[in-house]
Structure 1
Amino acid sequence: MPPANQLEVWISTESKNPGPDSYGHKYILKDGYLNVTIPISKGNYDGVYVGVYAPKLSDNYLNDYYFEIGASSKGFVHQTPIENGLFFDDTDNNNALLRTFSTSIEQPLYYTYFVESTRVNGISMSSCAYKENGWSTNVTYTRSEKYGKYQTSIFLNNLKNGTKYSALVTEESTDGIKTFTPVNFQTQSQSNCVIIKNLEFCDGVFYSVPKTVSKNTEAELAIGYDNLAKSYFNNFTLTIDQYPCNDTESKYSLIRNCNDCKEAYKNWICAITIPRCASEDSNNGKLRDRPRIKISDQSMNINQPYMELAPCVDLCYNLTRSCPASFGFRCPDSKIISTYGDAGSCNSLGMDVSFKSNAAIRIRSSSQWIILIIIFEFIILIMGI
């Protein structure tokens, strides 16, 4: 490909052939994109004329330029790219997960284009570059609502392993075309983790997990991990169902109830039972080669090293706040070896950890977790499991 020299755009309300040899105002695209507002005063004029000129390249280069022009008296047809509207979430060696948020109840009409990053060097803001050089197939959209925000998960599959990509997402509506600032990501070079989704019980899980001894496909891992977490949760419900949840005189909290406790425990147990892989070059990951908890199903044992993104410590804090104190749940102290992660660098399954709690900040350097051995032993002893 030639160097990504930018196209020139000449605009005039007087000359019908605006350009370097004629009258007009010159504008130069930046990263393959340009938005211009032209003030038009009342009076006699024939219209607005636009000239597009390619930069001078080597005489040996022969190829085509592609561009789109949108004009309107009501607003930008191609609106200024939305900053912080598209987020890269996760990847394995063949798939990637992006997310975008909106306040609209209606599902927006999204189009996703992804391309190897080298093919859009210097023109990363150009939708034409993605449409002409990239792919828009092998894309799945999943809509969900969380904390009053509507989230769309964008799943890209059949990617090359260990490859750098750029992805562009556009949103089309009657108001025009909105473009999100592109995101860059790299697929993993190793195949020890895979993104799983559509879990029946741990329905908040949509991320890459380590492969196990005998389960390697996405479907096998999703079922195996989901059943494992559900078995722990079922044991816990046998305990909490014996608690007088509906007895107003025995109410343990004015703002929390047993349903809150179950939800908090579900999020916590799913996060610690289903480990989340971190990217190979992540500063937030920790190298592991085994599960954090004892697993009776040998087929679910992890038998190869992987980088783990630890569960958020807020999952533990929420559990202790939501359940009866008599259950004995407690959060980590400096004597526990295994660690949680802090907001922004952890697995926040089922929780909004966009802020850092004071407690999390206080123990940031030594925040650690506990598997709540006391309650598990209590369940095993009482229930005979």
Structure 2
Amino acid sequence: MYLPKFTPVQSRFAASVGATIFLLFLLYSLNHPAVAYAEATGATRPEAGPNILGRQEEGQTPLVLGNNAPMSQPIVAGQIQFWRVDKNTIDGPAGRQGLQLPSSTGDNSSAPAADDEEREGLRKRQAGKTIYITVTTCGQPVYNGSESESDEAVPPQLSVYASQSPDNTRPGPDSDDEQESVVLDGGYGLIELDDDETVMIGVSAPNTTLFTGEWNYQIAVSIDAPFHRSLSQTPNLHFVDADTRAALLITDDLTTAQSNESSFADWMALDPPPYGMFVYPASLRSIGGVQNSYCGLRMLQGGLFTNLENSVNQNIAVTTDRGLGGKPKEQFYVTGLNASSEYVGILAQQPRLANASLSSDIGSGGTVWRSVQFSTKSMDNCALMYNLTFCSEVAYAVPTNPERFSTRDGLPELAQIYDNYAQSMYQYFNYSLQQIPCNTSETSAYSLVRDCDSCARAYKTWLCAVTIPRCEDYTNPAAWLKPRNVGQPFPNGSTTSIVPGFAESQQILAQAVATNSSRSLVIDEQISPGPYKEVLPCKDLCYDLVQSCPAALQFSCPTPGKGLEDSYGERSDNSGNLSCSYLGAAFFLSASPTIHVPWGLFALATLSALLLLFA
């Protein structure tokens, strides 16, 4: 074969060209991690979404991570796997912002989003630089022990190690050199680094013989913000109430905006609402291994999903301004539950992507909040009810009769009975209020701080709370609950004599009118719920009514020792127990400020016949 002969000048030129081509390829590889990754492993990483790679051996070249480009990997017990974040990624352009939610502060002014160049310039002008490394457990090995109800059945956690030292290119449990480390908590781990040097990462699986199979984890690095987020110190979710088959939960306020601000309307108009929710049986021990991991909760079997994409049998999530404060909140109505059961609810936010086909926006790995435990009722004569027309703030379990009102159709007839009765009683009050000179001068007004609108609001709040009682299981032993209909049979024909621990007191309670009937004849005659217990209305609802309305209406409240304790309850302390009922109440929002009214105020009015009707 003929080989050309080069002069010394030609030889130097050819070597220069070859070196230039190699350097250009190397530069391109550094700026395109997928190419570098292909060189190291013989595979390519798709542009869209995280890639699941084959099992990595300890001697293999570390896999390369790009900015906001998650990767997924299986790992077995006792194994360690290595990753690398190159300096060109750390010094590279900022990530892409996903779709943004409305303002949470009510500030309607919003600056236009900066383009990539502007964000990059801002980032480089900052004094420091932070590299966020997040790892989440998506799949877990299976427990093969015999103590399935114990903590032993919770899968152990992966560990993450990170080094920027050239002397520690294999960070891990056996390294003595400088490194950062974290053990995943509930399937989530975060390491933050403040240097801009190349980062080496090790992910280690614990040695265990109690579990069979492998973990599957997702890892991501970002120079913008954590790609995955776990807010495990904050629940942002509150249990409202439940019956035997469904539960109602609600978030904190989504915004502090006032009702006349545009961001208030923007939140209310969001479709779908911003958050989703996972619900799992509290007895499922494996949830402890992934309760802080979005992808882990998505892959865990045995749960119920609400407002999460690509999930079947979705429950109902809506944005509402019902409840304390009147601000936008997200409400979850979860069905398919079992009676007398404990559950775990976890609020989650799935990515709002600028491009639905990609998952590389800043922070698009999903967010989860701290779990909330709740339980369902054991008796079926309390039914969860909400979205009434007149008493629109009512959202809790009410006395029902499952033999007369089926839960399959959403209880529209039951809701109509309660709502129509409250509305008819309000109409009588409205006739009386029309006799009061509301639009008059300050010197002639009945109060300088309250008016007829205040009176009407206070009366409606009180009326809905007392005509639509909040229902609890008859077997619930809480001291603040009021027994009702003790001498009546349950809807299935049985009596209270079958309830353990209650037999001795049944005869006394059955002889008293207050404990052998409901608050109104409408409940006993048209619904016939049988025995149940009532969460009494809070006494400050009555106090606020007296304070807000003119003395001419002759409203007053029962006094302590003479009927107050039988008709109204005390607001609870900070224990989380709901010891009295008020509209918008949730079990973990029950310690709300109490309205204090001077006792001398009640001497100004006589005992109202209307209030006595509901005492």
TM-score under structure 1 normalisation?
0.83
CA contact (8 A) 1:91 1:188 kept: yes
1:230 counterpart SS class? helix
**Which structure 2 segments of 5+ residues have no match?**
1-141, 144-152, 256-263, 306-312, 353-361, 486-515, 573-578, 600-606
Tell me the CA shift for residue 282 of structure 1. Answer: 4.6
Partner residue of 2:568? 340
Residues 342 and 356 in structure 1, CA contact (< 8 A), matched pair in contact too: no
Q: Please list the CA deviations of residues 280-322 of structure 1 after superposition, one character each: whole Å capped at 9, or x if unmatched.
A: 3655433322654332576434432223211111211110111
**CA-to-aligned-CA distance 1:236-264 (integer Å, 9 cap, x gap):** 11211222222336421122221221111
Identify which of 123, 132, 138 aligns with 2:299: 132
13-22 or 78-87, which deviates more: 13-22
Q: Deviations over 1:302-353 (max 9, x none)?
A: 4322232111112111101111111111122121162312224221216897
Cα-to-partner distance string for 1:146-194 (whole Å, 9 max, x where unaligned)? 5263222211111122221111111356773442211011111221111
Are positions 1:328 and 2:481 aligned together?
no
Over the aligned positions, Cα root-mean-square deviation in angstroms equals 3.0
The letter for the 1-side match of 2:333 is F
- Unaligned runs of at least 5 residues, structure 1: 363-371, 379-385
Counterpart of 1:355, as a letter, is: P
Structure 1 residue aligned with 2:541: 315
Max Rg structure: 2
The answer to whether the 8 Å contact 1:286/1:308 transfers is yes
* Corresponding residue for residue 164 of structure 1: 342
- Between the aligned partners of 2:421 and 2:192, the Cα distance in structure 1 is 58
Matched, 1:189 2:344: no
| Structure 1 residues 132 and 298: CA distance shift in structure 2, 3 A | same
User: In the alignment, is residue 277 of structure 1 matched against residue 504 of structure 2?
Assistant: no
Identity of aligned residues (%): 31
| Residue 187 of structure 2 is aligned to residue 32 of structure 1 | yes
Equivalent in 55, 62, 65 of residue 212 of structure 2: 62
Aligned pairs for 1:16-27 within 5 A: 18-20=171-173, 24-27=179-182
CA contact (8 A) 1:114 1:130 kept: no
* Cα contact 2:347–2:368 (8 A) shared by 1: yes
1:141 aligns with 2:141: no
Return closer, same or farther for 1:173/1:6 CA change in 2, 3 Å cut-off.
closer
Distance 1:285 1:28 in 2: 45
Cα deviation, residue 276, structure 1: 0.6
Amino acid across the alignment from 1:19: G
The CA distance in 2 between the partners of 1:82 and 1:166, in whole Å, is 16
Aligned counterparts of 1:377 and 1:82: Cα–Cα separation in 2: 46
CA contact (8 A) 1:240 1:258 kept: yes
Deviations 1:348-368 (A, max 9, x none): 2168971134459x9xxxxxx
CA distance in 1, matches of 2:612, 2:223: 70
| Residue matched to 1:207 | 396
Over 3 Å counting, the alpha-carbon distance change for 1:69 and 1:209 in structure 2 is: farther
How far 1:50 moved relative to its partner?
3.3
- SS of residue paired to 1:102: coil
- 1:216-227 correspondence runs (5 A): 216-217=406-407, 218-227=411-420
Do the aligned partners of 2:535 and 2:580 also contact (CA within 8 Å) in 1?
yes
**Taking structure 1 as reference, are residues 314 and 135 closer, same or farther at Cα in structure 2, changes over 3 Å only?**
same
What is the correspondence of 1:1-385 to structure 2 with a 5 Å cutoff?
Answer: 1-2=142-143, 3-4=153-154, 5-13=156-164, 18-20=171-173, 24-40=179-195, 42-43=196-197, 45=198, 48-58=199-209, 61-77=211-227, 78-104=229-255, 105=264, 106=267, 107=270, 109-119=274-284, 120-123=286-289, 124-133=291-300, 134-136=303-305, 137-145=313-321, 146-147=324-325, 149-172=327-350, 176=363, 177-212=366-401, 214-217=404-407, 218-248=411-441, 250-278=444-472, 280=476, 282=478, 284-289=480-485, 292-296=518-522, 299-333=525-559, 334-336=561-563, 338-344=566-572, 345-349=579-583, 354-358=592-596, 374-375=609-610
Q: CA deviation at 1:9?
A: 1.8
**Distance in 2 (alpha carbons) for counterparts of 1:141 and 1:324:** 41
d(CA) in 1 for partners of 2:329, 2:522: 36
State the one-letter code of the partner of 2:580: C
- Counterpart of 2:530 in 1: which secondary structure? coil
